[in-house]
Structure 1
């Protein structure tokens, strides 16, 4: 099994499981991730998603043995049918997605992480834009997300140099949310995911819609969208519960609806 899928207490954990290949992607893993994300989207009991890797790596990117196999899928299909659907799913799914980067995240692996809503990493983890070393361009949304996270100059330098970026450096340059001590990492991720699974899931989904749209909207368009989405959020059960709990000075019991 190339992908472990565990569902518990509202949290779905998707763990890349090709540790002998540093969790590099092949067609089987790509399609397994696509199916798992689709299942997460349809399952109302799942309210938070965690993406992580088995063993020492998060994901080393594309399995080059497959990419160079004369009988394997061409690069166009690897990008268009393997990675692009995953990036689209990560951004469109109306539930929070946490990338728990437990080790090296290289190439497409790094960019899949950056497409998630929140990225946390072990202090020992590294991020590498490894494409230039084999004559390729960054894919999997890398040319979209990285410049927006760290700025065009920094993104260009990282993509052209292929320099390793430590988790601490990634946090300092706003590439990721937090760098976590290795011995505290699993507990931190578990606690964060559990907390988010009990929060207003519908509001989270609407927040993602607003953030996604903000990349292309004018201020006027964004303000109009906020007005529209806030009206939707205000009609949810979670809004009613949240406001009632606030007035009653108690902890809210959100249902994600």
Structure 2
């Protein structure tokens, strides 16, 4: 994999990950996908990183998996496809969902197929006015992968999800915002600045509390009330041992702004 396929930079407590194959709208090769998974895991484990921004270079966010170099065996063995998905697209989306730091997607252009699901797995989604979201699988006679049939119904409900997946029509950034797929739409020239501002604000917050909150929210739609309440109590118990929680309470009592350190 070329070193430049995923550009990785760190600015203070913010990790910036840029898909960097603009000539193919940042379509992901297996090498690029694995590199992104690795970088997300590193950001998750690094106490100096407190927020992540994910974006694309050029005019596209991510056109999905790069199928042009794919070549299957002469005779497909049962289990090959499922194994490829588990170790590939599903593992990538899980890396975003499981990252212990908040991940902001800055969708700068077309997000199609796995690229759309990669964006939707992020905790917050900013979209440039020129961005488009496309459930492209049906156009290729394929079943959605990369967790799409898990993510979309939870974000917009099953009927809207089926409409997008059955027809494969492109959604504009404004349409995606109206459906609840996007937090905010900004002018193209404001996307990077806004994403940086959001990430810096998140990075100044109580990092462990945000990680536990992310876990609770992500699990909530698959839990009954008793399980959700038990998870909430456990998360609160864990979080109250952190220095940031103690700082938050102390700052309230002392009537001052808290200074969180991600500990």
TM-score range, shorter chain: over 0.9
Post-superposition offset of 1:249: 2.5
Q: Show the 5 A alignment for 1:106-117.
A: 106-117=112-123
Post-superposition offset of 1:123: 1.2
- The answer to whether structure 1 residue 153 and structure 2 residue 159 are counterparts is yes
> What SS is found at the alignment partner of 1:66?
coil
Post-superposition offset of 1:71: 6.7
> What SS is found at the alignment partner of 1:165?
strand
Match of 1:180 in 2: 186
* Residue-by-residue CA offset, 1:45-85 (whole Å, 9 max, x unaligned): 01101111011000000112023x34799754542222111
> What SS is found at the alignment partner of 1:15?
strand
- The answer to whether structure 1 residue 103 and structure 2 residue 106 are counterparts is no
> What SS is found at the alignment partner of 1:229?
helix
* Structure 2 unmatched ranges of 5 or more: none
CA distance in 2, matches of 1:218, 1:179: 33
Q: Show the 5 A alignment for 1:191-210.
A: 191-210=197-216
> What SS is found at the alignment partner of 2:232?
helix
- The answer to whether structure 1 residue 21 and structure 2 residue 24 are counterparts is yes
- Aligned counterpart for 1:35 among listed residues 35, 38, 41: 38
- Aligned counterpart for 2:252 among listed residues 243, 246, 250: 246
Paired positions, count: 256
Match of 1:138 in 2: 144
Post-superposition offset of 1:93: 1.7
- The answer to whether structure 1 residue 8 and structure 2 residue 11 are counterparts is yes
- The answer to whether structure 1 residue 255 and structure 2 residue 258 are counterparts is no
- Aligned counterpart for 1:88 among listed residues 94, 110, 120: 94
- Aligned counterpart for 2:241 among listed residues 207, 216, 235: 235
CA RMSD of aligned residues (A): 1.7
Match of 2:53 in 1: 50
Structure 1 stretches of 4+ with a deviation exceeding 3 A read: 70-78
Match of 1:119 in 2: 125
Is contact 2:53-2:196 (8 Å) kept?
Answer: no
Post-superposition offset of 1:247: 2.3
Structure-2-length-normalised TM-score: 0.93
* Residue-by-residue CA offset, 1:82-129 (whole Å, 9 max, x unaligned): 211111111112110111111100000000111111111101100000
* Structure 1 unmatched ranges of 5 or more: none
CA distance in 1, matches of 2:14, 2:176: 26
Is contact 2:20-2:26 (8 Å) kept?
Answer: yes
CA distance in 2, matches of 1:196, 1:65: 38
